[in-house]
Amino acid sequence: MKKFKKYAASKAGRDTLLSFGIVIAGYIYLQVMVATGNISSLLESLLVPICAYVIMAVSLNLTVGILGELSLGHAGFMSVGAFAGVVTTTCLAEAIPSAPLRLAVAILVGGICAAVAGVIVGVPVLRLKGDYLAIVTLAFGEIIKNIINVLYIGLDSTGLHFSLLEQRFELAEGGEMIINGPMGVSGVSRLSTLTTGFVLVLITLFLILNLINSRAGRAIMSVRDNKIAADSIGISTTRYKLMAFVISAAFAGMAGTLYGMNYTTITAAKFDFNTSILILVFVVLGGLGNIWGSIIAASLLTILPEVLREVGEYRMLIYAILLIVMMLFNNSPLKARLLEKRGMKQMSKLEKNGKEGA
Amino acid sequence: MKKSLSMLLVGSMLVTALAGCGGNTDTQGAGDGQDNTDAAATAFLIGGTAPLTGEAAIYGNAVKNGAELAAEEINAEGGDIQIKVIFEDDEHNTEKAVSAYNALKDEGIQLSLGAVTSKPGEAIAPLHEEDHIFALTPSASSPANIEGNDVVFQMCFSDPNQGMASAEYIADQQLGTKIGVIYKSDDVYSTGILEQFKAEAESKGLEIVTEQAFTTETQNDFSVQLNACKSAGADLLFLPIYYTPASLILTQANAMGYTPKFFGVDGMDGILTVENFDTTLAEGVMLLTPFNADATDEKTVNFVTKYKEKYGETPNQFAADAYDCIYAYKQALEEAECTPDMSASDLCDKMIETFPTITFEGLTGDGAGITWDSNGAVSKSPKGMIIENGAYVGM
């Protein structure tokens, strides 16, 4: 118990407990609401996207907050995961009849595909730093989107067929197109549920928080804080940069699969620059390097525009104004004072506890 | 200190904005009935998702206006059927369409107008099926909207149908020998039409010399596509796209001195209403459309006058299709003797039974009446029109 208290008082411990606490409490609350029928269908339809966006925000936070490199192409990895996941579930429809198992396999495949894309993008990109890196990730995000835009994949009794630019294959009787170029996929059976989303969020949190608090995580942070110092003590900066980038991409891919399997139709155009920026906004609003902040920001900003449907035409205007207000607050002396006050309180509490312990 | 001051200012701005909007939503809800208090209790609640903001807003708002106008007329007549129409914004985005549909469901809609555009329509069609809510979509024309479910019906003719009719028109009237196509590759509407057009063109012996694609991001400049068509020697350009990009194509083709014949489909309707577009460029443009705003029959004249009065612009086929949807609902509800206290699911069963049996006379269609098959596809034949002196003339 004492050990736990001490853990909870440390910064890393507090962040971890807070992150898990928010997610688990949210899940239990929502499950009760769903079970008792107290939830609007609007909110219910948002739950899986929220889970996906939370994972996206948390994984991007690893790149932007922990590694300290601005990535503007995160939605690209999401789309790789989404489309890989759709292809996987369609191919395995007969081999694995159990829907949750099939989804789990798809999520895994989505993550692996996105990780591969992450390596391909990361190796050239991570030679750069700062603004240059940001612009290049932006370009890569667009490239991924445009490749999927001209990708044709079909499935028939003889197996999978691929082509680029135009459909150059004929499908046998009973075959179906999975990815149809710019028209994306349609007619997907929706497999994602709140519970799968919740489990995936927990796994993401567990792995990413553990990574951050591990030796590798500290190495990654040292690259962020002072690359020259990190180099001088023998940390391979390239290796740790790539590691953070690829792990971040892999989780984005998993989130993509979860997201894609929640809709009957998706197109590559959905995963454009705007989506990348939206996720960056989640991260910045939640605070760079602050995992539980990302969770709250992602949930809040996904629900907000939908709740604002009440006000009609001025919805997006008010959304933008609220966003400005939140950003201002996040950066205001008011918040700093509040935090200071809380810190003081905790300090005195700790002092008291310490005295009692002694 | 400065920052807290700015926050205070932003906060007060927000409060005033919210206050302004509060009033606005009230009028929005009441926009469809003079005797709103009565209507709310005894009216059928019909909802639809539409792109009210974003790139496709021009089409979404036309549908919203058309549907609200029809509901207003019906309510003013004071018959047994009273109708209240509500719309939610889907931003022409599948994710938002699902949210918008669920928001409508929370409002308790009994009947649906589906989605305005095809891709969002595809996203919410299975949800209609799951919840057993009947939908009659004014303009989501891709076949995927009505395939695989029993509850979604279309008011517009389907994309393949238009592609086939276009190829037939061009071949029968010998409008061109070398055909160039500019289409929007990330739009199901455009690709759906093109696919069938190509198949039919082949069987009719038409030669397609080039197919040029563009996407949402690249629809601000068509010089590459136009040059390709010009160098391929196309003497007729087939444009299975909506009228906003089409207006730009006409302008740019004129600027580079390229003067092929232009042939559009129903998305081309509305080209004469584009702001800052020199409508003389549209002279000689041919298009297939179910609706002609210059027609002289009583129904159309009434609709166009009222629409102009209320919204200050000439209605396009989106508005006309939406207007027809509401009247078709009225007829079907009367025929099936439905009452507003019925549940969405009961109404859905009744509508699925009734729609294939009725013949509807509306603004769109060619006077023979509009009928539906049990899959939800509409049977009305597209009419060929040519723009002469700023007005449509039948071909």
Q: What is the pLDDT of residues B147-166, one digit of tens each?
A: 878 888 888 878 888 888 88
Residue B13 has pLDDT above 60, yes or no: no
Contacts of B53 in chain A (CB under 8 A): 315-316
Query: Is A185 in contact with A266 (CB distance < 8 Å)?
Result: yes
Amino acid code (one letter) for A91 = C
Residue B255 lies in a domain: yes
Note whether A265 contacts B105, CB cutoff 8 Å. Answer: no
Cα–Cα distance between B331 and B370 in angstroms, integer?
12
Same domain? For B346 and B306 the reply is yes
Q: Could you tell me if B42 and B100 lie in one domain?
A: yes
Residues 160-189 of B with CB under 8 A from A: 185-188
- List the strands of the sheet with B391-394, edge to edge: B207-214, B178-184, B236-239, B261-264, B286-289, B383-388, B391-394
For residue A175, the distance in angstroms to the closest alpha carbon of chain B comes to 16
Report CB contact under 8 Å: B148, A40: no
The upper half-sphere exposure of residue A120, i.e. CA atoms within 13 Å in the direction of its Cβ, equals: 13
Does the beta-carbon distance from B52 to A311 stay under 8 Å? no
On the question of pLDDT at B16 being above 50, the answer is: no
Whether residues B186 and B131 fall in one domain: no
Taking a contact as any Cβ pair under 8 Å apart, which residues of chain B between 345 and 374 contact chain A? none
Strand pairing partners for B236?
B179, B261
Token pair for B238: 């087939």
The count of CB pairs under 8 A between chains A and B is: 116
What pLDDT, on the 0 to 100 scale, is given for residue B23?
A: 35
Collect all residues of chain A within an 8 Å Cβ-Cβ radius of residue B29: none
Same domain for B224 and B147?
Answer: no
Residues B186, B268 within the same domain: yes
Which positions ≥6 away from A299 have C-beta within 8 Å? A26, A50, A53, A54
**Each residue's pLDDT tens digit, B268-296:** 877 887 778 888 888 888 888 878 777 77
Domain boundary residue, one of B257, B289, B321? B289
> Residue B259 belongs to a domain with what CATH number?
3.40.50.2300
User: d(Cα A94, Cα B125) in Å, to the nearest integer?
Assistant: 25
Average of pLDDT values for B243-251? 88
Which residues are registered as beta bridge partners of B85?
B46
Give the separation between CA B325 and CA B65, rounded to whole angstroms: 12
State whether A267 and B22 contact (CB < 8 Å). Answer: no
CATH code of the domain covering residue A209? 1.10.3470
Banded pLDDT at B33 (limits 50, 70, 90): very low
Asked whether residue B38 is assigned to any structural domain, the reply reads: yes
Chain A partners within 8 Å of B187 (Cβ): 182
pLDDT digit string (tens) for chain A, length 358 residues: 677 777 777 777 888 888 888 889 888 888 888 888 878 888 888 889 999 999 999 999 999 988 888 888 899 999 999 999 998 888 887 777 788 888 899 999 999 999 999 999 888 888 887 788 888 888 888 888 888 888 888 888 777 778 777 777 777 777 777 887 777 787 777 888 888 888 999 999 999 988 988 888 889 989 888 888 988 988 888 888 899 999 999 999 999 999 998 888 888 888 888 889 889 989 988 888 888 889 988 998 888 888 888 777 777 788 888 888 888 888 788 877 887 887 788 778 777 776 655 4
Contact A40 B106 (CB under 8 A): yes
Q: Which of B187, B191, B255, B186 is nearest to B222 (CA)?
A: B255
Cβ atoms of B94 and B120 within 8 Å: the answer is yes
Residue B139 within a domain: yes
Tell me the residues of chain B between 186 and 225 that have a Cβ less than 8 Å away from chain A.
Answer: 186-188, 191, 215-217
pLDDT at B366: 66
Q: Within 13 Å, how many C-alpha atoms sit on residue B202's CB side?
A: 5
Q: Is B149 on the interface with A (CB under 8 A)?
A: no
Give the CA angle between residues A248, A251, A252 to the nearest 5°: 85
Same-domain pairing of B243 and B360? no
Q: Do A181 and B99 touch (CB under 8 A)?
A: no
- What share of chain B in percent tops pLDDT 70? 89
Q: What average pLDDT does chain B have?
A: 80
User: Is residue B17 less than 8 Å (CB to CB) from chain A?
Assistant: yes
Tell whether B8 is covered by a domain. no
Comparing CA positions, the residue from A65, A295, A303, A83 lying closest to residue A202 is: A295
Question: To which residue do tokens 């792995």 refer?
Answer: A207
**Strand order through the sheet with A176-180:** A159-164, A151-156, A176-180
Q: Mean pLDDT throughout B186-203? A: 85
Residues 6+ apart with CB under 8 A from A236: none
Bridge partners of B182? Answer: B212
At residue B293, φ and ψ (nearest 5 deg) are -70, -15
Same domain, B139 and B123: yes
A248 CA: distance to closest CA in chain B (Å): 24
Last residue of a domain, one of B254, B289, B324: B289
Closest CA of chain B from A219, distance in Å: 36
Residue B186 to residue A183, Cβ atoms within 8 A = yes
Whether B12 maps to a domain, the answer reads: no
Question: Which of B158, B189, B161, B154 minimizes the C-alpha distance to B376?
Answer: B154
ipTM of the complex: 0.80
**Pick from B10, B25, B185: CB nearest A312:** B25
Within 8 A by CB and 6+ apart from B193, the residues are B159, B160, B162, B163, B166, B183, B240, B265
For B88, name the nearest residue in chain A, comparing CA atoms only: A309
Work out the widest C-alpha separation in chain B, in whole angstroms.
Answer: 77
- Single residue among B259, B289, B319 that ends a domain in this structure: B289
Query: Would you say B137 and B101 are in contact if contact means Cβ atoms under 8 Å apart?
Result: no
Q: What contacts A227, CB < 8 A, 6 or more positions away? A: A129, A237
pLDDT value at residue A79 = 92
Residues of B with Cβ-Cβ distance to A324 under 8 angstroms: 10
Q: Distance, in angstroms, between B207 CA and closest chain A CA?
A: 19
Tokens (6 digits) for B98: 């699902």
Max Cα distance, chain A (Å): 80
- Amino acid at position A207, single letter: L
Residues B270 and B336 in one domain: no
Q: Is B15 on the interface with A (CB under 8 A)?
A: no
Q: Look at residue B39 and tell me whether its pLDDT is greater than 80.
A: no
Which residues constitute the domain of residue A154?
A: 2-357
CA distance A71 to chain B (A): 22
For residue B350, name the pLDDT band (cuts at 50, 70, 90).
Answer: confident
Which residue, B325, B351, B330, B361, is CA-closest to B74?
B330
- To the nearest whole angstrom, how far is the Cα of B142 from the nearest Cα of chain A? 11
The pLDDT of residue B21: 39
Tokens of B371: 């009928």
* CB pair distance less than 8 Å for A187 and B144: yes
Nearest to B102 among A41, A272, A328 (CB): A41
In a shared domain, residues B40 and B149: yes
Does some domain include residue B391? no
**Partners of residue B54 in chain A, C-beta under 8 Å:** none
Of A187, A269, A311, the CB nearest to B216: A269
Its domain, for residue B268, covers 160-289
Residue environment code for A316-346, b if the CB has 16+ CB neighbours within 10 A, otherwise e: eebbebbeebbebbeebeeeeeeeeeeeeee
Which residue out of A145, A263, A310 would a mutagenesis test of the B interface target, given it has the greatest number of B Cβ atoms within 10 Å? A263
Beta pairing class for B44-50 and B83-89 = parallel
Rounded to 5 degrees, what are φ and ψ at B287? -150, 160
In a domain, B84, yes or no: yes
Question: Is pLDDT larger for residue B241 or for residue B21?
Answer: B241
A158 — phi, psi (to 5°)? -90, -10
| Total domains present in chain B | 2
Residue B24: per-residue pLDDT: 36
Interface residue B94 vs chain A (CB under 8 A)? yes
Q: Do B225 and B177 lie in a common domain? A: yes
pLDDT digits (tens, 9 = 90+) for B44-75: 888 888 888 877 788 888 888 888 888 888 88
Residues of A with CB under 8 A from a CB of B: 40-42, 44-46, 49, 149, 181-183, 186-187, 190, 263-267, 269-270, 272, 306, 309-318, 321-322, 324-325, 328-329, 331-334
What SS3 string covers chain B?
CHHHHHHHHHHHHHHHHHHHHHHHHHHHHHCCCCCHHHHHHHCEEEEEEECCCCCCHHHHHHHHHHHHHHHHHHHHHCCCCCEEEEEEECCCCHHHHHHHHHHHHHHCCCEEEEECCHHHHHHHHHHHHHHCCEEEECCCCCHHHCCCCCCEEECCCCHHHHHHHHHHHHHHCCCCCEEEEEEECCCHHHHHHHHHHHHHHHHHCCEEEEEEEECHHHCCCCHHHHHHHHHCCCCEEEECCCHHHHHHHHHHHHHCCCCCEEEECHHHCCHHHCCCCCHHHHCCCEEEECCCCCCCCHHHHHHHHHHHHHHCCCCCHHHHHHHHHHHHHHHHHHHCCCCCCCCHHHHHHHHHHHHHHCCECCCCCCCCCEEECCCCCEECCCEEEEEECCEEEEC
- Count Cβ atoms within 10 A of the Cβ of residue B330 and give its class: 0-12 exposed, 13-18 middle, 19 or more buried: buried
Helix (H) or strand (E) segment spanning residue A186: none
Integer Cα distance of B339 and B334 in angstroms: 9
B213 and B320 in a single domain? The answer is no
Two tokens, residue A224: 């962020």
Shared domain for B147 and B173, answered yes or no, is: no
> Is the CB of A266 less than 8 angstroms away from the CB of B144?
no
